């Protein structure tokens, strides 16, 4: 490496903000084309800038990090592992019709926390702590349908767009470029792992709707979703509500809205059987 190049690199390493600005400027050119798209099932028009490939890369990086941090706790055999793989496979085959580019994969992590999430691009993480609440395959299908819906409806990309964080996301996608801790926190929060910038209520409700239709299309009785959300409603009144609810704020009307979408889900359920 020439002395000049070394000096230039030294300047960049010493000033991560300049490095970010440069990377963002370079990649920004690729990201100028905001596309209009329609969400599956609800057909809402939304605007996102990140392409499928970029969302997949963002999600894959976060997924690899999660697996690295939980290496010893990854469950790779046994009945809980089998259940998660079995249900995820059916939900994924439905979601694939809406997002054929995404590469779906699920991991089960032994953790008391009652939670699950799906990263942009189709990587799903389930904590064993949620299984007592889901109770059965249809309950788990309700959770996975909801989480996968956030990915197919590109809710993270929509949040990134709305919060004008596209350049920060692009910098992370570019790989390895230093970014400030504050920017990192904001983007990982958008990925749904942190909770300082959770999905909006509208997105939550939309994920309930799409998820309900997905579980029905996957062959699970949609009435079981209603039973699951009622269980969650009861659990939220307890001393320690499940973590799942802090990421997925519930309100008194959630169960009623789900009931309202039941006829649509029922017709999808009977159409396939």
User: Active-site residues: which are they?
Assistant: 147
Minimum CB distance to Zn ion smaller for 148 or for 207: 207
In the complex, minimum distance from the CB of residue 234 to Zn ion, in angstroms, rounded to a whole number: 19
State in angstroms the smallest separation of the CB of 199 from Zn ion: 5
Kindly tell me which of 31 and 257 has the beta carbon lying closer to Zn ion. 257
Task: Taking the CA atoms of 72, 76, 81 and 86 in sequence, report the sign of the dihedral they define.
Answer: positive
What is the rounded distance in angstroms from the CA atom of residue 222 to the CA atom of residue 271?
Answer: 13
Sign of CA dihedral 207, 209, 212, 218: negative
Q: How far is CA 66 from the centre of its chain?
A: 13
| Interaction site with Zn ion (CB under 5 A) | 204, 207, 248
**Cα–Cα distance measured from residue 101 to residue 96, given in angstroms and rounded to the nearest whole number:** 8
CA distance 179 to 247: 25
Question: How many angstroms separate the CA atoms of 139 and 119, rounded?
Answer: 20
Q: Which is nearer to Zn ion, 20 or 207 (CB)?
A: 207
Query: Cβ 207 to Zn ion, closest distance in Å?
Result: 5
For tokens 């307890």, name the residue.
Answer: 238
**Degrees to nearest 5, angle at CA 238 with 235 and 240:** 95
CB 28, CB 21: distance < 8 Å: no
Cα–Cα nearest to 25, from 143, 174, 202 = 174
Please tell me what DSSP assigns to residue 122: S
Looking at beta carbons, which residue is closest to Zn ion? 248
Nearer to Zn ion, 207 or 218 (CB): 207
Max alpha carbon distance in the chain (Å)? 71
Closer of 217 and 248 to Zn ion (Cβ): 248
Nearer residue to Zn ion within complex by CB, 22 or 245? 245
Give, rounded to a whole angstrom, the gap between the first and last alpha carbons of the chain: 65
Give the shortest CB-149-to-Zn ion separation in angstroms.
Answer: 8
The minimum distance between CB 158 and Zn ion, in angstroms, equals 13
d(CA 98, CA 107): 22
Return d(Cα 239, Cα 266) in angstroms, integer: 35
Least Å distance, CB 171 to Zn ion, is 26
């Amino acid at each position: 490496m020439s002395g000049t190049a070394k000096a230039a690199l030294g300047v960049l390493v010493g000033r991560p903000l300049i490095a970010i600005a440069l990377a963002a400027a370079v990649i920004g050119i690729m990201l100028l084309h905001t596309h209009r798209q329609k969400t599956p099932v609800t057909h809402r028009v939304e605007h996102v800038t990140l392409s499928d490939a970029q969302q997949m890369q963002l999600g894959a990086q976060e997924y690899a990090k999660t697996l690295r941090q939980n290496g010893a706790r990854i469950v790779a055999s046994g009945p809980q592992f089998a259940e998660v793989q079995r249900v995820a496979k059916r939900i994924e085959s439905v979601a694939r019709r809406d997002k054929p580019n995404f590469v779906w994969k699920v991991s089960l992590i032994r953790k008391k926390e009652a939670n699950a999430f799906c990263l942009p691009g189709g990587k799903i993480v389930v904590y064993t702590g949620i299984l007592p609440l889901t109770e059965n395959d249809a309950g788990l299908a309700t959770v996975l349908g909801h989480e996968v819906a956030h990915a197919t409806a590109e809710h993270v990309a929509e949040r990134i767009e709305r919060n004008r964080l596209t350049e920060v996301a692009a910098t992370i996608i570019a790989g390895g470029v230093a970014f400030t801790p504050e920017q990192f926190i904001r983007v990982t929060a958008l990925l749904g792992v942190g909770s300082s910038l959770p999905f909006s209520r509208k997105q939550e409700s939309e994920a309930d709707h799409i998820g309900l239709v997905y579980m029905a299309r996957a062959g699970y009785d949609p009435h079981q979703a209603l039973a699951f959300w009622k269980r969650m409603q009861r659990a939220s009144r307890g001393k320690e509500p499940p973590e799942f609810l802090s990421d997925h704020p519930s309100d008194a009307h959630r169960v009623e809205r789900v009931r309202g979408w039941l006829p649509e889900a029922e017709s999808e359920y009977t159409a396939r059987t």
